[in-house]
Amino acid sequence: MTYLKHPGSIYIGGEWQTTEQREAVINPADESLLIQAPVGSALQVEAAIAAARQAFDHGDWPHLPVANRQQLMTRFLDVIESRRDDILRMIVAEAGSTRMLAEALQYGIPMKHARRTVEIASRPSLTSLPVELTPNAHGTTTLGSGVVCREPVGVVAAISPYNFPFFLNIGKVVPALMVGCTVVLKPSPYTPMEALILGEIADEAGLPKGVLSIVTGDIEAGRILTSDHRVDLVHFTGSDKVGEAIQAQGAPTLKRIVMELGGKSALIVREDANLQDAAMAALGGFTVHCGQGCALTTRLLVHNSVRPQFVETLKGMLAHIKIGNPANPGVNYGPLIREVAVERTARYVSIAQDEGATLVSGGNRPEGFDKGFFFEPTLFDNVRNDSRLAQEEVFGPIGAVIGFDDDEEAIALANASDFGLSGAICSADVGKAFEMALRIRTGGVSINGGGGTMLSDAPFGGIKRSGYGREYGEDGLNEFTYQKVISFHAA
């Protein structure tokens, strides 16, 4: 199956360039070859930065009226919609997503966010300051005021991971371009197609040359993007360990950085919760996309009075999961991205057992799968909150049940983590759940399932080792701008 029009090229300054090096991209479900992807050289990455710098410093893009950029970016999104089927096939084949997840979360939600981003970009760029009256040297009074204006920060290096590649590529590129920045996008080597197709879309939509470049490459390519003085902002999603390295690499140039990193988020199940609903929420918290999601709730804090029933209910649900190739109808659980992820998950199963946790379900590679990177959805009970399983991000399908006796303990357990990205509470007492949510140290908390969707105006991001900065909504748009104050007085 042909996925790309330029399968051996990267997109630099509005032109397709071939690369000397290639790297196999495989389907994680059956290990079949999808594409011999281009691997950009250091010189090509630097050329992409130069093109972005030229387009920002000397091009029209940053200075276009917002309405003009809205028109172009709407066209960009319309062209994406015209390639929807191609993109969905890529998401299933390249990222190992089930078709349902691909349609609803990997594609549908980011497109909803993107449309809203384009819409809210028409917010006023100038904000008036209050008038101040100040005695002056002439014996009169100065009538002074000013405005705060938002301007694009400049050249953005956007670095995205393999778990939700299209989602995160769109979530970085659209707001950055919408405010007038220029972008160099670098995807994960595991999932380059969902980035490279955006170059084809940029061509068809008529984006100016140099406004968007897409490069591939190894660790060195990333280092160039995070350390080059011509890059004004690094927008990164990935692990906290890589986040540490990026912060260090950007330090000598005092580069602005927005980072959405790992998570070990807690789902709190109070004694009055609907256990069927709570178990369903918990199931998704460690099995959606095989647990490969930074905001998933993999720590399950359950009131001890209902914990046995909760665990049995959840165990019963796990028995109905259909493991298989996500391209097949009826499959609701696919593979991990690569063998290294399977090995990491298996290692944490051994760690949890050594720490005294009780294996309830799973814990192995499923039988009958000779190809693909599959691992059973795995549930542990009697997990200590200070254990490695509870404190370290597995990025695999393991749920950890931890008991508590009262709300104060639940809050303390939830906060006893180096991470702080998301969280959830299940309770019949919504008011009490809200009070608890206010005290949980994390970037977001959903109560009884939240708003029914990922809200497009809600800022998303974390604290502690889950990173800093926000994505989506007006706050996410503003991350790609800086504030300038212009003051003046009445003549």
pLDDT in tens, the chain (491 residues): 678 999 899 999 999 999 999 999 999 999 999 999 999 999 999 999 999 999 999 999 999 999 999 999 999 999 999 999 999 999 999 999 999 999 999 999 999 999 999 999 999 889 999 999 999 999 999 999 999 999 999 999 999 999 999 999 999 999 999 999 999 999 999 999 999 999 999 999 999 999 999 999 989 999 999 999 999 999 999 999 999 999 999 999 999 999 999 999 999 999 999 999 999 999 999 999 999 999 999 999 999 999 999 999 999 999 999 999 999 989 999 999 999 999 999 999 999 999 999 999 999 999 999 999 999 999 999 999 999 999 999 999 999 999 999 999 999 999 999 999 999 999 999 999 999 999 999 999 999 999 999 999 999 999 999 999 999 999 999 999 999 999 999 97
What CATH number should be reported for the domain holding residue 374? 3.40.309.10
Which amino acid is present at 108? Answer: G
φ and ψ at 71, to 5 degrees?
-65, -45
Contact 80, 43 (CB under 8 A): no
Q: Is the pTM of this model over 0.85?
A: yes
Identify the active-site residue in 194, 200, 260, 471. Answer: 260
Q: Are residues 113 and 233 in the same domain?
A: yes
Q: Are residues 130 and 166 in the same domain?
A: yes
Q: Are residues 374 and 472 in the same domain?
A: no
Task: Print the domain residue range for 383.
Answer: 266-455
Q: Are residues 231 and 107 in the same domain?
A: yes
Q: Are residues 427 and 480 in the same domain?
A: no
Q: Are residues 476 and 374 in the same domain?
A: no
From CA 292, how far away is CA 352, in angstroms rounded?
19
Q: Are residues 187 and 282 in the same domain?
A: no
- Within a domain: 185: yes
Q: Are residues 113 and 245 in the same domain?
A: yes
In sequence order, the β-bridge partners of residue 170 are none
What CATH number should be reported for the domain holding residue 176? 3.40.605.10
- Within a domain: 462: no
From CA 87, how far away is CA 11, in angstroms rounded?
18
- Within a domain: 463: no
- Within a domain: 394: yes
Task: Report the domain count for the chain.
Answer: 2
In sequence order, the β-bridge partners of residue 300 are 267, 401
From CA 165, how far away is CA 170, in angstroms rounded?
8
The strand pair at 358-361 and 378-381 is best described as: antiparallel
Instruction: Report the run of H or E that residue 256 belongs to, with start and end.
Output: strand 256-260
Assigned token pair, 425: 């509470």
Q: Are residues 242 and 298 in the same domain?
A: no
Q: Is 204 a catalytic residue?
A: no
Q: Are residues 251 and 163 in the same domain?
A: yes
- Within a domain: 220: yes
- 103-106: long-range contacts, CB 8 A cutoff, minimum separation 24: 105/164, 105/167, 105/288, 106/164, 106/166, 106/167
- Within a domain: 461: no
- Within a domain: 109: yes
Rg (C-alpha) for the chain, rounded Å, is 24
In sequence order, the β-bridge partners of residue 399 are 379
